[in-house]
Structures are given as structure tokens and as C-alpha cells.
Amino acid sequence: MQYVNLGRTGLKVSRLCLGVMTYGDPAWRSWVLTEDAGRPFLKRALEHGINFFDTADMYSHGVSEEILGRAVKDFAVRDNVVLATKAFNPMSDDPNGQRQMLNGDRRPDSRGVSVADQLFSDAG
């Protein structure tokens, strides 16, 4: 695997970044894989040197982040993996769904990891 600098952050990331929108709860979107179906892909990516993963709090209403967190905990050394996530879009069908991130209802430890390495806001 080839690695590159992530801007000026000092982080080295694999040239390939695996987006994990596909892993989560099929109730959110019919094409989403369950945790049991998705874990082999995450494990294989880590085994082949992918250390950069992208997710968002809204993917499967947070389940995607939780699955990624458990996979990193089970298959990798946390300090060797770079997790990017995004916040802003609603986390539920509730009109105030996007407030969950701001109010701390989506604590980082609920994802199985203590911190995201990079946080983006999807605010338009």
C-alpha cells in the first residue's frame, strides 16, 4: 500500500480511503450491509494496509460509525488508523435530528473509539 500525507496534519494515510456508508442498518437504506456482512470487507481492507476510513454520523443514523469503531477495535491498532467523519445532516427523522451531535448525544465512545481524527461539517 502506498501512503501519502493528509494535507499538513502530519498524518500518513493510505492512497485508498474506504468509505463505510455501505455498512450499517438496512432499515436506513436497502443496499446497506449488516455488520456481519460488512466486517469481512473492513478486516480485509485493514489487512491490506488501508488505514484511512470515511464515515458520517448520519449513515444508518450512526450505526455505520459504531460498526467501524468495533472493527478497528477488533482488527487494528487504533493509533495506526485514521478515521474521518462528518456531522451536520439529521441523525433521525425528527425535525431537530441534527442537534444530536451538538448536544453530545452521539458521544465518541458510542462509536467504539474515543475520537475521530478528522471531522468535517457538511453544512452547505
- d(CA 1, CA 68) in angstroms, rounded, equals 20
Catalytic option among 23, 52, 53, 59: 59
- d(CA 32, CA 27) in angstroms, rounded, equals 8
Q: Which residues contact 64 (CB under 8 A, 6 or more apart)?
A: 20, 21, 23, 24, 55, 56
Q: Is 23 a catalytic residue?
A: no
- AA letter at 12: K
List active site positions: 59
